[in-house]
Structure formats: structure tokens, C-alpha cells
Structure 1
Amino acid sequence: MVIEDYYARLDGPEPLSGLDLLEPDVEFLLALPGKEVTGRGRDDMRAYVAGRPAVGRRHNVVRRGSDGDLEMVYGFITEQDGRGTGSFTSVVLLSPDKKIARYQSFFSPAFNLFPLPEGEAA
């Protein structure tokens, strides 16, 4: 799935390589606690990705589904110590070229469908 490839790149050593999977005029909404980040185009997404702190977060997809040009995933975010910090639900609409044309993601630290990992024992 394209969305899983995007997250793998975002979490990898070259996060900006994920932009290669986006259409030049991609539109997006990232619903985060207390704010929404919206934008249009790779430059807007580049600014968002480049502005994120480098703290070693990882997207862990636990459920996925697709229907034609629509891909959906549910997962949780873990920190470097393996501790889960919240869950996300993301949906993308793919272009005919199989690139992300529209991207919508919701993150919540407060509500999770599945228990979050507790991380390494202290």
C-alpha cells in the first residue's frame, strides 16, 4: 500500500523521501490534538515534515484496507523506547499514477481502539 510506504519513508533515515509518493498538488489535513494542519502541494508538506522534531517516532500500522483508489490504515505511534503515545487513522486518495492526491490523518493520544505498547521496562 502506498500509505504504508509513505510512513516507512517518513520514519526512515530520509523522511523527505516520502514526498516522492505525493502528487505535486497534494492536499492534506492532519488533525492533531488542539490544532489542524492543512496544506496544498509538496512544498507545504515538506515544510511540515521538515519542521517536526527528530525524536524517533514510528508509525505502526495494525489494520489496513483499500477499495480501488482509496487506502485506509489504523495504527499507533511509538517513541524510541517502544512506548505508545497515541493512535492514528489515515486515509489517502490515490491518483491514476498511484501517488497520493489527498491525505487525511487523525491522531489522538486519548482514545485508542487497541491497547498501546508500554515500552521497555524501566
Structure 2
Amino acid sequence: MVLREYMARMDGQDPEKALELLEPDFRFLIALPGGRRTGTSRADFAEYIAGRAAVDRTHEITRYAVDADVETAYGFVVEQGVTTGAFLSAVRISPTGLMARYQSFFTTDFDLVDRP
């Protein structure tokens, strides 16, 4: 379950460790209220990580599913103890077990599932 490990690493003290889970030609789309971030390589994602604000942030997964080489997660982002919004993320896993593609949508004004 690579997606869970990826989120745990992104939430940890050293988010660059998430890069170890990505294929070199990793492709991604992250849709945030302020705009989209995209890239076509592990290096592009390293730039994204470097540009993120360092805050006490966690991804609290409330729904998770796996179907063959695709994993999906739904949950809430919590920063410094305050829920800031909800995310819906999906990843395609390569034959080597690494993340090949990642798509994530984050919203601050709509919850698909009520927060427990």
C-alpha cells in the first residue's frame, strides 16, 4: 500500500523520503484551491516538495481502496490540529511497486464523507 506510505512520509520530518517511492518518470497532478501543480519526473516532484510550506500537517485517511495497480484514498488534511480541507487522491503503481502516476484533489469547501 504505497499511497499510505507516501502520505506518511510527506507528513513526516523529512518529506524528501517520499521521493524514494517514485519512479524516475513519475507523473503527477495536484489540484489545490490556488491552482494546479503538475510534473513529469521525480525531479519535478522534488521541486514541488521544496516549495511546500513547512507546517505541522497530516493526511488523515478515512477511506482507502485498492484495485489491481490503482490505490485511492479519501480523507482530511489537518494542520496544527485544525482541519483545513478534504482530499481525494489516487496513484497507479508500477510493476516494480513504485508510484508511476499520482492525482490528488484538495478542497477547503466540500466534504464527500463527513469527518468522523
TM-score range, shorter chain: over 0.9
Counterparts of 1:83 and 1:114 in 2: how far apart (Å)? 17
CA distance in 2, matches of 1:79, 1:34: 17
Query: After TM superposition, what 4+ stretches of structure 1 lie above 6 angstroms from structure 2?
Result: none
CA-atom RMSD in angstroms: 1.1
Give the TM-score of the pair, scaled to structure 2: 0.96
Larger radius of gyration: 1
Residue 76 of structure 1 contacts residue 86 of structure 1 at CA under 8 Å; is this kept in 2? yes
Q: Tell me if the contact between 1:84 and 1:116 (Cα under 8 Å) persists in the aligned partners.
A: no
Q: How does 1:15-54 map to 2 (within 5 A)?
A: 15-54=15-54
Aligned to 1:120: none
- Structure 1 unaligned blocks of 5 or more: 118-122
Counterpart Cα distance in 2 of 1:113 and 1:85 = 14
**Structure with more strand by fraction:** 2
SS of 1:112's equivalent in the other structure is: coil
1:48-63 paired onto structure 2 within 5 Å: 48-63=48-63
Which runs of no fewer than 5 residues in structure 2 stay unpaired?
none
Return the alpha-carbon distance in structure 2 between the equivalents of residues 43 and 30 of structure 1.
Answer: 15
Is 1:110 equivalent to 2:109 in the alignment?
yes
